[in-house]
Amino acid sequence: MRSIVVIIAITLGVFAGIFIMAFANGMVEERIKAIITTEISHIQIHRPGFKDNNDFSLRIDNANSIIPLIEKTKNVAAVSKRLVISSLAASAETNTGVKILGIIPEEQKNVSNLHTKIIDGKYFEGVEKNPVVIGQKLAEKLKVSVHKKIIITVQDIHTNIISGAFRVAGIYKTDNDLFDEANIFVRYDDLANLTGLKGTEAHEIAILLNKNENTDKVKEQLKNELPDLEVKDWMEISPEAGYLVSAMDQYMAVIIIIILLALCFGIINTMLMVVLERVHELGMLIAIGMSKLKVFGMVMLETVYLSVTGGIIGIASGFIICKHLEKVGLDLYFWKDVYSSFGYSSFIYPVVNLRLIVFTGIMVILMGIISAIYPAFKALKLNPAEATRAE
């Protein structure tokens, strides 16, 4: 019975560890997917210094001639130019600072899935003059709805402060409330006209690749081809996402170690009880000729078997359940607002990472061995004469 309890405890602990890892990996992967497909794309190109403070004057003047060159690059799926200006958006009720992106709507569809996030109104349809698409959080803040007017105040090419009236064509909602509140989208031509630009420039060229794995390769190639421009990937543009990826494995390893350490103490306690309860039996084994080394080995093996059995069941059940959830997803709708305030989706698809499963398996075996040492050592210290007399 005791052995079953130990196995169940290890199974649950290991399962919990695998699940937490898969859950966290899933969250991170969803976040990265959102960053790439909705917010940033794989690579962005700017004038050097632009990303420091979004300086309006730092424009790529020959964007129209660069884009065909980029489109021909291997592994590039789509390219889109944008104007990016820090501005003020105001409604009748209030005003707030936003980033206004002047996009070519049809081109933008190829590098971003924003058009699929429209929850009210349409993606640049239904409003003829100066349509704007804003996030739901911003709409709530400005207390505007579809077809309502907002005033956008920007700086033009002569550094004059000018305003333009835009009408809300559509309201979008991503899983990132911060993004929704900060970014509004207008037509490239409308923004260019408002600010006095020619129509060939861009502040930003967004590039979507066919695979995330090609990012470094394409980035290096573009850096060589466009030495005067700044070519950055999504991890450089959004460093916190980059840290998340590189740190997540370490976080998960630490969590697994903590879970296993806790289990370790439980196993040590249980195996100590086993040794103490079997003092008589162990004394007898030594008396009839079993060497103390074999007794030591016996206790070690028993502990390792328990640990490995629990570990295997825990890993297997964790793997199976997480693989299933990887397909169907886990909807934590009751915490939707909490997740979106941090930029995460509440619909998680846990992702099982084989590397961490192997790590968990190795740690379980190590835990079994370490847990066994003290109880096995206690068994070594038994005096067979006293042990055989023990009750």
Partner 1 sequence: MNILEVQGIRKIYDKDKMPVHALNGIDLNFEQGEFASIVGPSGSGKTTLLNIIGGLDDPTEGYVMIDGVNISTLSGSKKTEFRMKNIGFVFQSFNLIPVLTVKENIEFVMFLQGIPKEAREKRTKELINSVGLNDKTNIRPSKLSGGQQQRVAVARALASRPRFILADEPTANLDSKSTDNLLDIMEKLNKEENITFIFSTHDARVVKRARRIITIEDGKVISDERVNGER
Give me the residues that bind partner 1 (CB under 8 A), please.
280-281, 284-294, 383-385, 388-389
The CA distance from 320 to 244, in Å, is 26
Helix (H), strand (E) at residue 88: strand 76-90
* Torsion sign across C-alpha atoms 188, 216, 249, 324: positive
* Cβ-based nearer residue to partner 1, 335 or 377: 377
Q: How far is the CB of 368 from partner 1 (least distance, A)?
A: 21
Supply 190's token pair.
């409308």
Q: How far is the CB of 273 from partner 1 (least distance, A)?
A: 17
Q: Are 160 and 185 in contact (CB under 8 A)?
A: no
Q: How far is the CB of 303 from partner 1 (least distance, A)?
A: 17
* Cβ-based nearer residue to partner 1, 286 or 379: 286
Distances (CA, A) of 205 to 16, 74, 75, 81, 305: 43, 17, 16, 4, 58
Parallel, antiparallel or unpaired: strands 131-135 and 95-103:
unpaired
Q: Which residues contact 359 (CB under 8 A, 6 or more apart)?
A: 253, 256
* Cβ-based nearer residue to partner 1, 297 or 361: 297
Q: How far is the CB of 347 from partner 1 (least distance, A)?
A: 51
The CA distance from 322 to 362, in Å, is 20
- The DSSP symbol for 38 reads I
Q: How far is the CB of 298 from partner 1 (least distance, A)?
A: 11
Distance of CA 124 to the CA centre of its chain: 30
Q: How far is the CB of 295 from partner 1 (least distance, A)?
A: 10
List the Cα angle 241/246/247 in 5-degree steps.
Answer: 95
* Cβ-based nearer residue to partner 1, 25 or 309: 309
Q: How far is the CB of 308 from partner 1 (least distance, A)?
A: 20
* Cβ-based nearer residue to partner 1, 290 or 373: 290
Supply 316's token pair.
């297997």
* Cβ-based nearer residue to partner 1, 201 or 302: 302
Q: How far is the CB of 379 from partner 1 (least distance, A)?
A: 14
* Cβ-based nearer residue to partner 1, 84 or 285: 285
The CA distance from 72 to 348, in Å, is 36
The CA distance from 325 to 341, in Å, is 24
Q: Which residues contact 295 (CB under 8 A, 6 or more apart)?
A: 282, 285, 286, 376, 379, 380, 382
* Cβ-based nearer residue to partner 1, 41 or 309: 309
